[in-house]
Amino acid sequence: MQTLKVDTSEDSVASDMLLTLQLRTANDLFLPRLKTFECEETTEAFIPFIPLFLSPQTTEISIGFAEDPPW
């Protein structure tokens, strides 16, 4: 996989599922060959999970935040 584009306003990912991913990927990279990570409409709840998607191969990271973040 070369590019991962996530729009958290449209792609609703349950926190429970991300917590499971976090436990699963503790020893292994989830996306070991990811080159580009794009995340749009990021909210405060999604921020802690961003590192799960990154790898040493990731060279481009683009993160856009929701218009009205809750902080």
Residue spans of the domains in the chain: they are: 3-65
Give CA torsion, residues 7, 11, 69, 57, to 10 deg.
Answer: -50
For residues 49-70, give the mean pLDDT.
Answer: 84
Residue 15 and residue 21: Cα distance in Å, rounded? 10
Which of 26-30, 59-63, 65-69 has the least mean pLDDT? 26-30
For residues 35-54, give the mean pLDDT.
Answer: 85
Residue 17 confidence (pLDDT): 63
Residue 12 buriedness (CB in 10 A; 0-12 / 13-18 / 19+)? exposed
Judge contact between 33 and 14, C-beta under 8 A. Answer: no
Q: How confident is the model at residue 62 (pLDDT cuts 50, 70, 90)?
A: very high
Residue 60 confidence (pLDDT): 94
Residue 66 and residue 26: Cα distance in Å, rounded? 28
What pTM does this model have?
A: 0.62
